[in-house]
Amino acid sequence: MSQPIKITSPIRLKDFNPNFHERLDKEKAREKSIKFTAQIADLQELLHANSKQALLIVLQGMDTSGKDGATRHVLHGVNPSGVETVSFKVPSAQEMAHDFLWRIHKAMPRYGNIGVFNRSHYEDVLIVRVLNMQPPSVWRPRYEQINAFEKHLVDNRVILLKFFLHISKQEQAERLIARLDDPRKKWKFQPEDLKMRAHWPQFMKAYEDAINFCSTKHAPWHIVPANHKWYRDYLISKTVLTALEDLKLHWPKPNKDLAKFKIK
């Protein structure tokens, strides 16, 4: 598997091994990832020069699955002015006064830019469901609403890449312990993480349903085995690069005859 698993039919998450890394050589994979990120940076300049499309990367996963780490790696060399990153937290009072997709649509990247959603509109069928923040009569219809919303984005020239960073419960435990042991990472630890961890089976079921109901032809989900950070970064960077290459972008022609201009 040289790409994340693109979901085209119903799945069960227990059939996917978060520890999988296809026997790649770790150092060679890292070398390739560095090349991929350099190419992504070059293609983002082309994307910005044309400004006719946007690329949105949606990252979902349990706490410590590596959403921030993947973002830092994949967009390492991209001009910061061409990236729009949003981390969706608990909705504000203003956001709660609108439909659940309002804050999402408002945060979409402009044409020419790459956007990254650290968590996303899927929280409204994940944590909202698991913690019983809304009854099923509210969150169940959201699958179709999300599909319609994403179809609207794709129809309006937004390339949508959705990644589920799949880690094991044991791997999460090790990463949480590392946060407690490392003075540089202690600030990341939140008691809330343990509350979410206690609902692991319910979250896995909620993620499984979200992937199955909302993996469409125009916006498929990709499952990324994420126990190995180097393999996670390799897969995501390769997929992002492929999406940009598929646009077959060229440098736009100047709208004026530049031969007329003389620099003195």
| CATH number of the structural domain spanning residue 50 | 3.40.50.300
Q: Is residue 38 part of a domain?
A: yes
Q: Is residue 230 part of a domain?
A: yes
Please give the pLDDT value at position 263.
82
By the 8 A CB rule, do 128 and 120 touch?
Answer: no
Structural domain harbouring 175: 5-246
Q: Is residue 26 part of a domain?
A: yes
pLDDT per position as a tens digit, 165-213: 999 999 999 999 998 888 888 888 888 889 999 999 999 999 999 999 9
Give start and end residues of each alpha helix (H) in 7-162. Answer: 26-50, 67-74, 93-96, 102-106, 127-130, 136-139, 142-155
What contacts 24, CB < 8 A, 6 or more positions away?
231, 234
Rounded CA separation 178/183 (Å): 10
Q: Is residue 206 part of a domain?
A: yes
Q: Is residue 11 part of a domain?
A: yes
Asked if pLDDT for residue 1 goes beyond 60, the answer is no
Q: Is residue 37 part of a domain?
A: yes
Least confident segment among 25-34, 52-61, 94-103, 252-261: 252-261
What the block records as the tokens of 208 is 């499984």
Asked if pLDDT for residue 3 goes beyond 70, the answer is no
Please give the pLDDT value at position 70.
97
Q: Is residue 252 part of a domain?
A: no
Asked if pLDDT for residue 2 goes beyond 70, the answer is no
* This prediction's pTM: 0.94
pLDDT per position as a tens digit, 77-105: 999 999 999 999 999 999 999 999 999 99
Q: Domains in the chain: how many in total?
A: 1
Q: Is residue 259 part of a domain?
A: no
Give the position of tokens 């972008």: 249
